[in-house]
Structure 1
Amino acid sequence: MPDTLAETFEAQRDRLRAVAHRVLGSSADAEDVVQEAWLRLSRQDATAIENLEGWLTTVVGRLSLDVLRSRRSRPEATYDEIVVTADDGPAPEEDAELADSVGLALLVVLESLGPNERLAFVLHDLFAVPFEEIARILGKSAGATKMLASRARRKVRAPARPAAAGREQRAVVQAFLTAARDGDFEELLRVLDPDVRLTVDTPDGVVVVLGATNVAAGARIGAAAGGRAVFVGGLPGVVAWREDGTPLSVVAFTVVSGRITGIASVADPVKLASMDLPEPPETVGPPR
């Protein structure tokens, strides 16, 4: 029986890891949650579990919820898996690692959600878990759970993941950076989609700015900071440093049909410190 139970669990492991990874944004935390789920299952009378898949989803959901709630009282870095590489040649090929990553834009928005909202959104919208099951995990009614997911959905408004950065996308981003540096408001409006969404993860929480006019008006805030063009999870971006060489921000741009539709930025020093970033240029200057 133990061997059969272990084999049954192994058949579910990849799905459970995917659920925990999407909820938590960290593969290390996801592995810990899945391992704890196995330990709890091994202590159960499996013959008394009618729906093992549902039982495991519930356990992983509750464990993930505990991790999210602990982060609220004890903030942790969650961006260590975002792949940032210098833009010093051809754009990186889309690969399995990038395709499976949460992505900076979605991760920044997920960070703005409360634990209950985040769990309800991920389980229902990304894994099609019925609201009745999610409600049991949260200890709420199905109606209240639907409202949580709906509220989260409005905040996320995440587009489909674009292809890896190409020459045209990088040119659009460079035009934006140049316009921001020069204070060219009209050019900023030209390269920004009218409904562009800017999300910034700061030490005080996530700030969201909507619309081309508002984003363009604030674009010069970081324009004078030293920086370097990079790829962030395969998307065009920029890393800026302070004069002492510590990172100031990491920004990723989503470009669709020649315009920037989304800008995701991390400006929290704790989270920046967890990221594997390229070395700053010897002379810190505007992004090139």
Structure 2
Amino acid sequence: MTEPRPAEPVAQAFEAERGRLHAVAHRMLGSHADAEDVVQEAWLRLARQDPAAIDNLGGWLTTVVGRLSLDALRSRRTRPQPVYDDQLPELVVTLDADPVPAPEETAALADSVGAALLVVLESLGPNERLAFVLHDLFAVPFDEIGRILGRSTAAAKMTASRARRKVQAAERPQPGPEQRAVVRAFLKAARGGDFDELLRVLDPEVRLSVDTAEGEVVVLGATKVAASARFGAGEAALGRTAVVNGRPGLVSWGVDGKVASVLSFSVADGRIIGISVVNDPVRLAELDLPMPE
């Protein structure tokens, strides 16, 4: 049985919305392939609707794409897997004891921070991500966002505000003293095996992503991330603090003098909301960071 097709004027109106709908789904999901699947599903749902019952086609399609994307994000929270299919931002690392970066390094840093927006969005919970993307990036009213989330307009505003604070904190071009203090507390707790202190400085929904030669590994939640931090405490003890793509970070070296890993931390409201670890030898080989004397 074939799917019904919308009338030609409706099909043309959908095509006029397709680019915007794909952009919404891509910001939500971080994957062009997944975004295209969501847009296609929205098209199929439109085909089963009576066009006369839709007062605002653009708003209706935005709601459908938002709900489909939200369902996909919630599914990922229970089955974490790598989905980010855009080119990862270049690693720009400055050790804390280094001199002020050269102008070309500063330009590279600005480019990498801008390119990392999708990575920052990955640190948000599904509801936060939807509220931030729809309102701050696509100007969808809060009453519509509330209907998608199944919450009040006021609750949607609060969710977007919380997400905005996290994004702004993560996108600062240079980490402030408060961010550095939180990361220092985390590293001290990891080195000392202080599980309770680790939980104190980690956001309950913190996201740890590890970029390895075999692919990305994702760990979600403060308890699991704290356990992983204690397991990797030896590496933290041998590392040196740095600024990594504009965020507080840590660089560690192996016994061969080569960079073994690079960590960066996203901090908001006094807690770590995201930790990114690069262990992939191919990416690390691009860095020219000899072990300090």
Query: What's the TM-score once normalised by structure 1's chain length?
Result: 0.59
Counterpart check, 1:22 vs 2:27: yes
Measure, in 2, the Cα distance between the counterparts of 1:276 and 1:54: 46
Identify if the C-alpha distance between structure 1 residues 86 and 22 changes in structure 2 by more than 3 Å, giving closer, same or farther.
closer
Per-residue CA deviations over 1:186-212 (Å, capped at 9, x if unaligned) read xxxxxx5323366974254367xxxxx
For the 8 Å contact 1:243–1:284, the answer to whether it is kept is: no
Percentage of identical aligned residues: 51
Partner residue, 1:133: 144
1:193 aligns with 2:208: no
The reply on whether 1:148 has 2:159 as its aligned counterpart is yes
Which of 95, 98, 117 lines up with 1:102 in the alignment? 117
Q: Quick one: structure 1 residues 26 and 10, their matched pair in 2 at CA, closer, same or farther if it must change by over 3 Å?
A: same
Quote the Cα distance in structure 1 between the aligned partners of 2:111 and 2:60: 29
Matches within 5 A, 1:154-165: 154-158=165-169
1:255-270 correspondence runs (5 A): 265-267=275-277
Q: Describe the SS at the equivalent of 1:128.
A: coil
2:237 and 2:123 mapped to 1: Cα distance?
23
- 5+ unaligned residues in a row in structure 1: which ranges? 163-168, 170-191, 208-218, 254-261
Q: Kindly state the Cα deviation for residue 63 of structure 1 after the two structures are TM-superposed.
A: 0.1
**Cα RMSD, aligned residues only:** 4.8
Deviations 1:16-38 (A, max 9, x none): 11211222222222221112111
- Cross-structure match for 1:216: none
| Separation (CA, whole Å) in 2 of partners of 1:97 and 1:286 | 24
Amino acid at match of 2:168: R
String of CA shifts for 1:67-101, please: whole Å, max 9, x gaps: 011011111114442424477xx668799999666
Amino acid at match of 1:138: L
What is the CA-CA distance between 1:41 and the residue it aligns to?
Answer: 1.3
Choose from 215, 220, 226 the match for 1:205.
220
Q: 1:201 to 1:80 in 2, by over 3 A?
A: farther
How far the C-alpha of 1:133 sits from its partner, in A, is 0.6
> CA distance change for structure 1 residues 108 and 83 in 2, over 3 Å: closer, same or farther?
same
Q: Structure 2 counterpart of 1:205, which letter?
A: L
How do residues 67-106 of structure 1 correspond to structure 2 at under 5 angstroms? Answer: 67-85=72-90, 102-104=117-119, 106=120
| Contact 1:239–1:248 (CA under 8 A) maintained in structure 2 | yes
In structure 1, C-alpha distance between the alignment counterparts of 2:166 and 2:250, rounded to whole Å: 24
* 1:174-194 deviation digits (Å, cap 9, x = unpaired): xxxxxxxxxxxxxxxxxx532
Tell me the CA shift for residue 52 of structure 1: 0.3
Change (3 A) 1:35 1:97: farther
Contact 2:24/2:138 (CA < 8 Å) preserved in 1? yes
Change in CA separation of 1:280 and 1:74 when aligned onto 2, cut-off 3 Å: same
Please state whether the residue corresponding to 2:130 is helix, strand or coil. helix
Q: Could you tell me which amino acid in structure 1 is paired with residue 177 of structure 2?
A: P
Deviation at 1:117, TM superposition (A): 2.4
SS of corresponding position for 2:176 = strand
In 1, distance between residues paired with 2:57 and 2:79? Answer: 32
Give me the TM-score of the superposition, normalised by structure 2: 0.58
Pairwise mapping of residues 42-53 of structure 1 onto structure 2 (< 5 A)? 42-53=47-58
Most deviating of 10-19 and 241-250: 241-250
CA contact (8 A) 1:117 1:152 kept: yes
Seen in structure 2, the aligned counterparts of structure 1 residues 157 and 231 have a Cα distance that, compared at 3 Å, is closer
Q: Structure 2 unaligned runs (5+)? A: 1-5, 93-103, 184-201, 209-217, 223-232, 267-271
